[in-house]
A and B are shown apart, each in its own frame.
Chain A
């Protein structure tokens, strides 16, 4: 499957330490995280525990603490950290020309799955 990059927003739209949400027609909402260290990550906006909106959690280092029950999720792998088990799907993201791009093919493939 080849990537289908779509530009979603300007890098400045999400301040470091915060996340932005991107609803997707026909698939689950995506959360884009901007870490305080400056990295960008995209994940399905759903905690592997009970579906909490990860975009609303506190971002620290390269992880986010879920707002519902405080599971810590790795932004890079989507895996729950510490003792917890579970994984949120990650979405390919790239930063180019001051914009954030997501791979729509990967997002849509999940909707079909």
Chain B
């Protein structure tokens, strides 16, 4: 095809026009190919390349590093291609200057070339984080073949690598180095790997997979410096002090469009070189394409948009402009055996609906985000077969309302005509089709169970075990219930929240028995229907995990209600109240002075004696909390947990030490009880009291655990509370000594911690389970009290670390400070410097 007729005549009647290309990379060469396809004879072409080689497929550097491909296999344009098309390739000699007035470029080697049109395709530069040691030998980026060769040489002679950056590039580097036999640690600043492409759920699956392959993955890890040893890299030190020894450090934290040359020549450059829809820069004689450009505000770091840009560029040059309109991108990770796909916007938002499918047994997570009946984003893990289909639906903005119900099952299912109705699909299954894989239950058996009287999901689970294990077939069982019974289906027992079909009594044992260690893991394995839960289930799961794995599970601050995250009670005006512990209600001049000083120093608007026998300081700003705590700590006071689902107060009366009726040292026992159990997280708040005699001045019989002292020893009472619905305690048992009282208390608290539902206080818990059940757990087996108490004490080892002291020492300073500040001044001075990123 010859389009010569449609273009303006060349400047020199017989000579070809001169096209000079800067950058012998993927965009530069593809643009030339597109131009040659439209106008094979118009241009005399010269390409300058900084790299001393022909153009190759940069994205295949990862398989080269991993040993799955050789360099020869990834070459795109061989030397013959340049020769056959009459192209002069100047490789290994970068252009250092553009003289726009003279329409000339100058190379480092001194070569001068004139142009009629200039094409800039200089790609990107890897971003190097400015930490001490960044220039040491052994620190590399991952951008070109030279980098790969440096890494391969390092892998020959040394054994430990650290990759900084857990994005696409970093993980591909880590994978390659690990296949080359190195022990690899990935250091990633964000909590989720590939956080720009993956959500928390998929990020969790990816992390587990890579860890399973022997890599160490550190998330939320901020690099402080690269350590030197004998003049080269010795390791990496993180801001938290951790040191990781390494012989090779790969920086893969991101890229920056390379617009240096363009900027120096006076072209309009912001983040990238600014181009219009025909890829023309602010100078009509100069075009730009690839990662170095900024088009309609966007810069790209993937090849698919570049191919579209190159087509638009060639069409524009040939005076039949198509116009580039920007791209929607999708990503796949090139790590063999790990299937990850992500496209579009999956951060959700108004009017967005998440469709989530999880198949824990096969390690699959799929999430499709639909808005106004259009697919707007997708994240797939484990099964990426349908990635392209979703991506097509997304790009074409296709209305999916017809296939909405079956969308998540993939193209084969959703596009299958009648099968688009999932009810019809389930109805069409044969009687011996397997419904529940875990328990091997067929459709026939489930239907028989339903017709035999099971009218709810729970009844089916109890009757034939279908959906009673992993729960992934819950949806199928519910459809069978609906098909078989129509409107006769009964609501099942209360679930944890709207995100799951499981109840507390399903989730808790599952965590312990199946060893779940994190919130995303529970959500994946138990098929949560939302990507990251809600304000009901997140705090509950956080508590269940904390209770199940003391000393091991790391508390998830973002799943904590504000009071427990700030270690103070939020007030209606957004300030906080602070209640230090006063053991058993006893205080002394030093504590009182410290409290008085805090009230004055921080201008607290009120200080009040609480109903829990201690003092509450009101009106403290979140910024002042750490300083207030430091002052209180200095007087020996620790957090009173007035804000927590945890031990609150232990009220006491004066007892045998002073009172003429006192039978035992109730004050002393109260202090001991509080010292034993403070700091422990519980399903709900937990209050105790010790009264010195049955006159019960400490109101022990409306407490979660109350002790009434009598001549012969101690009566132990449980399950009481004041509040909206007052409940007096039940008598649990009588014991003779203080030691026994303490041990029974520890055992009871632990039983409550391990069994009650989150946000269920002891009173409703006792009524649900029955006093007899609680007594049986404690006393049927003679070793039970000791075993429960031992578990409580073990857990307390990790809990009795004053959270105030940690904060006063600077822990989580981000929670107590502002991230920035805006002043009213004119634009230029209005900008305050960025504050330090959070740890």
Minimum Cβ distance to chain B for residue A65 (Å): 4
B348 touches A15 (CB 8 A): no
1/0 per residue, CB under 8 A from B, across A60-104: the answer is: 111001011010101111010000000000000000110110101
Q: Which of A7, A25, A56, A102 contacts B570 (CB 8 A)?
A: A56
Question: What are the 9 A-B residue pairs with the smallest beta carbon separation, nearest first?
Answer: A17-B558, A20-B819, A39-B347, A12-B837, A8-B820, A65-B535, A67-B562, A76-B350, A58-B535
A12 touches B347 (CB 8 A): no
Q: Which of B191, B535, B561, B824 contacts A60 (CB 8 A)?
A: B535
Q: Which residues from chain B contact A70 at a C-beta distance below 8 Å?
A: 535
Tell yes or no: B830 within 8 A of A by CB: yes
Whether A23 contacts B818 in the complex (CB less than 8 A), given A12-B837, A38-B196, comes out as yes
A21 touches B819 (CB 8 A): yes
CA distance A58 to B347 in the complex (A): 16
Q: Which residues from chain A contact B110 at a C-beta distance below 8 Å?
A: none
Q: Which residues from chain A contact B572 at a C-beta distance below 8 Å?
A: 50, 52, 68
Whether A38 contacts B561 in the complex (CB less than 8 A), given A4-B827, A13-B835, A14-B838, comes out as no
Interface majority SS on A: helix, strand, loop or mixed?
mixed
Tell yes or no: A43 within 8 A of B by CB: no
A24 touches B347 (CB 8 A): no
A67 touches B820 (CB 8 A): no
A32 touches B819 (CB 8 A): yes
Select from chain A the residue with minimum beta-carbon distance to B192.
A16
Q: Which of B191, B565, B832 contacts A16 (CB 8 A)?
A: B191
Select from chain B the residue with minimum beta-carbon distance to A81.
B350
Interface residue ranges, A against B (CB under 8 Å): 4, 6-10, 12-18, 20-27, 30, 32, 35-39, 50-53, 56-62, 65, 67-68, 70, 72, 74-77, 79, 96-97, 99-100, 102, 104, 107-108
Q: Which residues from chain A contact B565 at a C-beta distance below 8 Å?
A: 56
Minimum Cβ distance to chain B for residue A43 (Å): 13
> Which of under 10, 10 to 19, 20 to 34, or 35 or more describes the interface residues of B?
35 or more
Minimum Cβ distance to chain A for residue B154 (Å): 29
Q: Which residues from chain B contact A12 at a C-beta distance below 8 Å?
A: 189-190, 222, 837-838
Whether A53 contacts B348 in the complex (CB less than 8 A), given A22-B821, A37-B532, A38-B199, comes out as no
A38 touches B836 (CB 8 A): no
Q: Which residues from chain A contact B346 at a C-beta distance below 8 Å?
A: 37
Q: Which residues from chain B contact A96 at a C-beta distance below 8 Å?
A: 271
CA distance A107 to B824 in the complex (A): 10
Minimum Cβ distance to chain A for residue B559 (Å): 7
Q: Can you list 29 A-B pairs, Cβ within 8 angstroms, ordered by A?
A: A4-B830, A6-B831, A7-B831, A8-B822, A8-B834, A12-B837, A16-B191, A16-B192, A23-B821, A30-B822, A36-B192, A37-B346, A37-B531, A39-B347, A39-B349, A51-B574, A52-B570, A56-B562, A58-B535, A58-B538, A58-B558, A60-B532, A61-B354, A62-B349, A62-B352, A65-B534, A68-B572, A97-B271, A100-B820
Q: Which residues from chain B contact A77 at a C-beta distance below 8 Å?
A: 350
Tell yes or no: B214 within 8 A of A by CB: no
Minimum Cβ distance to chain B for residue A19 (Å): 9
Select from chain B the residue with minimum beta-carbon distance to A52.
B574
Whether A62 contacts B824 in the complex (CB less than 8 A), given A13-B835, A15-B191, comes out as no
Select from chain B the residue with minimum beta-carbon distance to A101.
B831
1/0 per residue, CB under 8 A from A, across B815-829: the answer is: 000111111100100
Q: Which residues from chain B contact A6 at a C-beta distance below 8 Å?
A: 822, 827, 830-831
A22 touches B220 (CB 8 A): no
Whether A22 contacts B196 in the complex (CB less than 8 A), given A37-B347, A53-B574, A96-B271, comes out as no
Tell yes or no: B657 within 8 A of A by CB: no
Whether A16 contacts B190 in the complex (CB less than 8 A), given A61-B348, A67-B562, A74-B350, comes out as yes
Most buried by A among B346, B531, B834: B834
Q: Which residues from chain B contact A100 at a C-beta distance below 8 Å?
A: 820
Whether A58 contacts B822 in the complex (CB less than 8 A), given A9-B834, A36-B200, A39-B347, comes out as no
Known A8-B822, A52-B570, A60-B530; 11 more pairs at CB < 8 Å: A9-B819, A10-B835, A13-B837, A16-B558, A20-B820, A37-B347, A58-B559, A60-B533, A61-B532, A61-B534, A104-B822
Tell yes or no: B387 within 8 A of A by CB: no
Q: Which residues from chain A contact B834 at a C-beta distance below 8 Å?
A: 7-10, 13, 99
Minimum Cβ distance to chain A for residue B293 (Å): 16
CA distance A86 to B807 in the complex (A): 35
A8 touches B819 (CB 8 A): yes
CA distance A9 to B819 in the complex (A): 6
CA distance A51 to B573 in the complex (A): 8
Q: Which residues from chain A contact B189 at a C-beta distance below 8 Å?
A: 12
Minimum Cβ distance to chain B for residue A100 (Å): 8
Q: Which of A26, A37, A56, A58 contacts B199 (CB 8 A)?
A: A37
CA distance A53 to B189 in the complex (A): 28
A22 touches B820 (CB 8 A): yes
Q: Which residues from chain A contact B558 at a C-beta distance below 8 Å?
A: 15-18, 36, 58-59
CA distance A18 to B838 in the complex (A): 11
Minimum Cβ distance to chain B for residue A14 (Å): 6
CA distance A63 to B570 in the complex (A): 20
B570 touches A20 (CB 8 A): no
Most buried by B among A6, A35, A36, A60: A36
